[in-house]
Amino acid sequence: MTKLCLGTAQFGMNYGVANKKGQPSQAEVNEMVQSAWESGIDLFDTAQAYGSSEIVLGKAFEVLGISDRVKVITKLSPELEKRPETLIIKSVRRSLANLRVPKLFSLMLHRGEWLSDWEKYYGSVFRKVIAEGMTESAGVSIYTLEEFDRALEIPEILTIQMPFNVLDQRARVHGCFEKARTAGKLLFLRSIYLQGALTLENIPEKIKFGLPHFKRFEDLSLRLGISKKELAFQFALENSSNAVLVLGLESTLQLSENVKLAAQDRWVVQKNLSELYQLSENVPEKLINPALWEK
């Protein structure tokens, strides 16, 4: 299992507040997937709702001849909420065809609130999908700690994806890493750059309400003599000994930068953890949940 997972939302649509290039071409996707694979990354995260991501990712796997060796996570479309079981299973088969893989590493619920219907509805669907060999495991993408606790109690849920970054440290404070390890579940941490906002020089208008928090982070970065990107990445890595970091990238250059960061010494972060922990204090939910940025 690698420590890094390639997030591919941007492969199928314009995604992320820091995205300057838009959706990459198939050739660019092929290059990024090849670079990831050659760097030792065999985990790829996508979703049925990520536009054409599954399709272009599948084409890249096929071109590179790695379809039977990659580990792929995909998530059920939000449009499938409480839809007929046959329709959900059909969508999984379509995902496998799009991705051109024989089996998924994990099939996830895209929304954590669906967990409340696990026993009444989704559990039986996932058990069938697993029994038919379409996925190795069931999982869920969550936003809240309540959803994390609910996922922890469901034996079939073996993978949990949740946000974590220097401004959103709920997973650390709540003890999610230790709880997941004890329960035998694998954590995937997304949004380690807060959709890229932590690396920007100019904060977009829609999140300027968070300027004081971005400023504190930037000031600490300058004082420590380490770039914002390096500080954000290494903080996430330092706090995720039993988790996988999901990286959403636009280019092979960004990929190589992150791979290099993963190999670097983290002594600056380790020496200043107490100050880094303080950066998440009093951060409003609206800032750490991108779904609320447009509201």
Question: Directed axis angle between helix 26-38 and helix 53-64, to 10°?
Answer: 60
Decide: 191 and 165 in contact? Cβ < 8 Å.
yes
Instruction: Tell me the per-residue pLDDT of 167-212, one tens digit each, with 9 for 90 and over.
Output: 999 999 999 999 999 999 999 999 999 989 999 999 999 999 999 9
**Cα distance between residue 49 and residue 220, in whole Å:** 37
Q: Does 292 fall in a domain?
A: no
Instruction: Give the closest residue to 194 by CA, choosing from 220, 231, 158.
Output: 231
Q: Does 74 fall in a domain?
A: yes
Average pLDDT, the chain: 93
Domain housing 93: 4-202+236-265
Q: Does 71 fall in a domain?
A: yes
DSSP 135: B
Q: Give the pLDDT band of residue 26 (cuts 50, 70, 90).
A: very high
Q: Is the pTM of this model over 0.85?
A: yes
Share of the chain above pLDDT 70, in %: 96
pLDDT reading at 28 higher than 80: yes
Q: Does 107 fall in a domain?
A: yes
User: What's the length of the chain?
Assistant: 295
- DSSP letters spanning 154-179: -TTEEEEEEE--SS--HHHHTTHHHH
Handedness of CA 157, 87, 80, 10 (dihedral sign): positive
- DSSP letters spanning 113-131: GGGGGIIIIIHHHHHHHHH
Q: Does 193 fall in a domain?
A: yes
pLDDT of residue 107: 98
Q: Does 181 fall in a domain?
A: yes
Segment 223-241 shows an average pLDDT of 94
Q: How many domains does the chain have?
A: 1
CATH of the domain at 146: 3.20.20.100
DSSP 3-state of 64: helix
Helix %, strand %, coil % for the chain, to 5? 50, 15, 35
**Cα distance between residue 232 and residue 224, in whole Å:** 13
